[in-house]
Homo-oligomer: A and B are copies of this chain.
Amino acid sequence: MICAIIKIMQKNQKITLADVAEAANVSPITVSRALRSPDKVSPKARDRIERAIAQLGYVPNPAARALASGRTDVIGVIIPSVSNNVFAEVMRGMYDALSGSGLTVQLATTGYSPLAEEHLIRVFLTQQPSGLILAGHDQSPAARDLLARANCPIVQVMEVGPKPIDVAVGLSHHDGAFLAARHLIERGYRAPAFLGAQMDPRSQRRLAGFRAAMREAGLAEVTQVVTTPEPSSVSMGCRLFADLIAHHPQIDAVLCNNDDLALGVLFEAQRRNLSIPDRLGICGFNDLEMMEAAQPPITSVQTDRYGMGQLAIAQIRDRLEGRGHPAGTSIDLGFALQIRDSTGGWRG
């Protein structure tokens, strides 16, 4: 075996499965099997093969494997944007859940364009991925059609909806915002407003939840909503709030579409010497780590983004092993309203 290895190494080329087979004195297909289902190979052969692989430094060629098998070890992930920090945690959960699986994630971004999403779905699906992870439930009809025919697990993350394509992992953004708005009202705020940027479908549902709570409280008349299609940021929170308070000074609380905006509102309110929570209540969405650390700490709707990423990958891994949840399953990770000082005041 030593001789064989030396001879092969001297070729000074890429090490292939055939080289390993030669060094281990078995046929290539046996090496292939040893790699994919080690229990179908005799322990002796397996041992020789493993040794040869280690000594030669063999690494399988995924392209050849994909071409021959008609499958790839790639999980396609299609999200709107990498710089939206709600997705960062989701991605971290995915990467962590990937470890030791031999699977890799291929990330693509739509820039919030449904057409771009449809195109990416089409491209990914023709590449026979091991699975596909999508953000949300608002794929175009054509895309849904493609996905329905796909023969790989499809996981929709971020939110749960009425009719998942396959499996969904998320939460109800409507309900989260509804509960947050109701909390503001219960705390005695009588003129809460909604602040939103980058109004994607999930943001729209948060807004709907806010409106529902306001209607329930008989406050529909005084409801103020300020939104912009531009990306969300802390500065945008400052600007939107400045705009809001200039036109509607009677506003006494703000439900923000996300935590960046909420932090911007906090800063802008401090600049204007509006006391929090007495003159102004602030509530965010997602509960980024900094909400707890802020001065004062900011009330926010906690969501388990890391868990979503992990579960999405876990579901695909389970499916590939014949287990996992059946199509049609929605996994609602829920949310938790973290009540903090920014809405802590008693308002009679």
Judged by a CB distance under 8 angstroms, whether A201 is at the interface is no
Measured in the bound complex, the distance between the Cα atoms of B263 and A293 in whole Å is 9
Given B57, B91, B263, B293, which contacts A290 in the complex, CB threshold below 8 Å? B263
Measured in the bound complex, the distance between the Cα atoms of B270 and A238 in whole Å is 19
Contact of B61 with A64 in the complex, beta carbons under 8 Å: no
Measured in the bound complex, the distance between the Cα atoms of B85 and A163 in whole Å is 34
Chain A 78-102 per-residue mask, 1 if CB under 8 angstroms from chain B, else 0: 0001110100110110010000000
Contact of B92 with A81 in the complex, beta carbons under 8 Å: yes
Contacts of A347 in B (CB 8 A): none
Judged by a CB distance under 8 angstroms, whether A199 is at the interface is no
Given B63, B105, B106, B293, which contacts A234 in the complex, CB threshold below 8 Å? B293
Given B63, B81, B127, B268, which contacts A67 in the complex, CB threshold below 8 Å? B63
Contact of B82 with A85 in the complex, beta carbons under 8 Å: no
Contacts of A61 in B (CB 8 A): 67, 126-127
Judged by a CB distance under 8 angstroms, whether A5 is at the interface is no
Interface size on A (CB < 8 Å)? Answer: 48
Nearest chain B CB to A77 CB, angstrom units: 10
Nearest chain B CB to A234 CB, angstrom units: 4
* Nearest neighbor of A58 in chain B, beta-carbon distance: B126
Contacts of A295 in B (CB 8 A): 266-268, 270-271
Judged by a CB distance under 8 angstroms, whether A122 is at the interface is yes
Nearest chain B CB to A2 CB, angstrom units: 23
Contacts of A289 in B (CB 8 A): 233-235
Judged by a CB distance under 8 angstroms, whether A22 is at the interface is no
List which A220-259 residues lie within 8 A (CB) of chain B: 233-235, 237-238
Contacts of A64 in B (CB 8 A): 63, 67
Judged by a CB distance under 8 angstroms, whether A336 is at the interface is no
When A85-B88, A88-B85, A105-B107 are in contact, do A267 and B238 touch as well, CB less than 8 Å? no
Interface of A is mostly: helix
Measured in the bound complex, the distance between the Cα atoms of B294 and A266 in whole Å is 9
Given B72, B109, B290, which contacts A260 in the complex, CB threshold below 8 Å? B290
Judged by a CB distance under 8 angstroms, whether A264 is at the interface is yes
Judged by a CB distance under 8 angstroms, whether A123 is at the interface is yes
Judged by a CB distance under 8 angstroms, whether A66 is at the interface is yes
Contacts of A237 in B (CB 8 A): 293
Judged by a CB distance under 8 angstroms, whether A292 is at the interface is yes
Judged by a CB distance under 8 angstroms, whether A204 is at the interface is no
Judged by a CB distance under 8 angstroms, whether A14 is at the interface is yes
Contacts of A59 in B (CB 8 A): 122-123, 126-127
Interchain Cβ contacts under 8 Å between A and B, 30 examples: A59-B123, A59-B126, A61-B127, A62-B63, A63-B66, A63-B72, A67-B67, A82-B92, A82-B95, A83-B88, A83-B89, A83-B91, A85-B85, A88-B88, A106-B106, A107-B107, A233-B289, A233-B290, A234-B290, A234-B293, A235-B289, A235-B290, A263-B290, A263-B293, A266-B295, A267-B293, A267-B294, A267-B295, A270-B295, A271-B295
Known: A63-B64, A64-B67, A82-B88. 5 other contacts (CB 8 A): A57-B122, A62-B127, A233-B293, A235-B289, A235-B293
